[in-house]
Amino acid sequence: MEKTMSGVLIEAVLRTTLKKLKDDPERGIRNLVDMGLRFSRTPFQQRFFRRTQAMLENEDSPYYDLVRDLFTYADTDRLLRVGMDLGYHGCVCGSRQIRDSERRLGCRIPWTVLFQMDASSPDRLEQYDAAVSEGEGLGIYTWLLFPAAAPEGILDLVRSHPASAFFLFCEPEYVLPGLTDSFTELQNLVPVLRCREDMEMECTRLRDAGIPYCVWYPYSWEDLPAIRGGDLLVTAQQARPVFTILVPRPDCPDAARCQAGQAVERARNEQLCRTIPLELEWDGLNIQRIISGGASLACFDSSGHPLGRDGGVLSPAVSLFSDGLTGAFRVACGGNTSEVSA
């Protein structure tokens, strides 16, 4: 993505504000939100920043503890890169591109794509690279990667697309010392560790390297009491992640997903813990509705087939590796922007 004048200005102001956050996190985060409101162009962006301003009026908010901790260990340039890729490229420029792409192609274009990845061969990595390039042309700058094994081979993909933000969902044991060194040079990569009790060493390794990280938890119906009661988030915040992302298992019923999404939204609005909770499907669909007025998520298995919410293949005859990302979206959506995509 070529930098526009507004993008250059926003990046310069953001860099200055982030550096000041190191010295005074409380004042800095308020200034950052004020800046976001000043550059807001849409009613949604303005509502988001005004709501955040109201939340930060609570001087006892645990989010201040989160910000203070984050800016104690995290590399400022890394925060800037992720912020620009996720916020400016993904939510500002990307949203306009997505709406234009939907009008041009006649199918729903999701704002983020989830890959269940098998990157064991160079040919496969080239196919993922082509898919991400095509997605950026459509306005997609946020990618959720679920590798089947240790993700060394995926790092070249991340390196090739500096304008996109990549969230790497992995097991804690994947965060090996050598791999952490590779993570350090990739400022647009956010590790997301599966939430477990025995992950303190890996989190410490990331913190020592200045790398912000998140945790994720795969849930189903039996986890609802811990989600609604807040116990799960209390446990997750012990690892001191920025975001705690709840991911519904394929067999998780719709009612459980809805209740989990509502519980997460309530916990976030009421500032119940020092990690920002998200429910992958609930919040992902809400963002999509704001961007283009429709609901769509895109998930592909390791063979490139589009998956439904139950984890089943929607169309075995379609693969992003043979039909391209646009072809997979068009088939999954039935060529109708009122339908939900893969």
Residues 144 and 113 sit within 8 Å (Cβ to Cβ): yes
The predicted pLDDT at position 164 comes to 93
Per the model's pLDDT, the better-predicted residue between 36 and 224 turns out to be 224
Cα torsion angle, 183, 302, 327, 105, sign: negative
Q: Is residue 150 assigned to a domain?
A: yes
**Number of structural domains in the chain:** 1
Calpha distance 212→201 (Å, rounded)? 15
User: Is residue 55 in a domain?
Assistant: no
What is the per-residue pLDDT for 209?
93
Residue 3 has pLDDT above 60, yes or no: no
- Picking from 59, 52, 60, the residue whose alpha carbon sits closest to that of residue 35 is 52
Using the predicted structure, report yes or no on whether residue 120 has a pLDDT greater than 80.
Answer: no
pTM: 0.88
Instruction: Tell me the residue range of the domain where 116 lies.
Output: 108-333
Residue 47 lies in a domain: no
* Residue 121 within a domain: yes
pLDDT at 83 over 60: yes
Domain CATH for 286: 3.20.20
pLDDT given at position 29: 73
Q: Which residue has the higher pLDDT, 255 or 23?
A: 255
Give the pLDDT score at 310. 84
Q: Is residue 91 part of a domain?
A: no
| Alpha helices by DSSP H, the chain | 5-23, 25-38, 43-55, 62-73, 76-83, 94-105, 122-138, 155-159, 177-185, 200-208, 224-229, 231-236, 254-269, 280-292, 320-333
Give the amino acid at 267: A
Is 186 a domain residue?
Answer: yes
271: in domain: yes
